[in-house]
Structure 1
Amino acid sequence: MEKTLYDKYGGFSTVSRIVMSLYEKLLEDDDLGPFFDDVDMPKLIDHQTKFVASLMGGPASFTDTHIERAHRNMTIADSHFDRLKTLVDDTLAEFDVDAEDIQTVLGAFEARRTLLVKA
């Protein structure tokens, strides 16, 4: 049986460190940082850790409805989503995630673009 990316890279503890590092970048980013003003960051990071874990084949799961509902009051453009993907790519690379596995995770993010970006 093939290991999930979640298992391959160390499970919850590694995913948690990846998400913490990603959010450090997001909060410092001039374009994306403002999306997190007045947000309960510990709660958000907990949710995002579970979300990224699910994208990597971990135990958590998120429905499209949940994702869309969480972002419905935000004005997210394609440029914001593209920047997010760049930061995800950079962060995963910093954690020595293989290039092919990074593309798998980015593909999972891309599959949800229409849930966040409102044309």
Structure 2
Amino acid sequence: MSKQSLFDKYGGFSQVSRVVLSFYDTLLDSDEIGPFFDNVDMTKMVDHQTKFIASLLGGPASYTPRQLEQLHSHLAITDAHFDELKVVLRDTLGEFGFEPGDIDAVLQEFENRRNLIVGAPND
């Protein structure tokens, strides 16, 4: 019997979509992260982020390392920004009832992609 993915365990795309909407509600209020989304089509952003988070949960959507680099290469995302994203993601997953071990697993998948997303060293 195969192990159930976190994606399936936590309700698939419909639940991941709710997680992402809550995640962005918090991020858009951030003085550090919010400005990255000025002049961004948030409908498309939420769609892309839903697919990305789904992939972190072992779901069917995925982005190649090259795609992640290309999507973030024009942004000056620092390690500090990435760390804030991780905190918001941890809190959001907790709010949606994710078990602590599952949150850690998702955050590790996110951390594994740090070098593809962070493009600028900290000041």
**TM-score bracket, shorter-length normalisation:** over 0.9
The whole-number CA distance in structure 2 between the counterparts of 1:115 and 1:88 is 18
1:94 aligns with 2:107: no
Aligned to 2:107: 106
Unaligned runs of 5+ in 1: none
Residue 2 of structure 1 deviates from its aligned partner by 1.0
Summarize the alignment of residues 75-94 of structure 1 with structure 2, pairs less than 5 Å apart.
75-94=76-95
Residue 46 of structure 1: how far off its partner (Å): 0.2
2:65 corresponds to 1:64: yes
Structure 2: segments with no counterpart, 5+ residues: none
Query: Normalised by the size of structure 1, how large is the TM-score?
Result: 0.98
Deviations 1:69-119 (A, max 9, x none): 001111011110000000000000000100000001000110111112133
Question: 1:39 matched to which residue of 2?
Answer: 40
Percent of paired sites with the same residue? 55
Which residue matches 2:75? 74
Aligned mates of 2:78, 2:58 — CA distance in 1: 27
Residue of structure 2 equivalent to 1:22: 23
Tell me the C-alpha RMSD between the 2 structures. 0.7
Give the TM-score normalised by structure 2.
Answer: 0.94
Residues 41-79 of structure 1 deviation map (CA, whole Å, 9 limit, x = unaligned):
000100110111111011111101111100111101111
Partners of 1:117 and 1:10 in 2: CA distance: 30
Task: Return the letter of the residue paired with 2:9.
Answer: K
Q: Which amino acid aligns with 2:99?
A: D
- SS class of match (1:103): helix
1:55 to 2:56 alignment? yes
One-letter amino acid of the structure 2 residue matched with residue 25 of structure 1: T
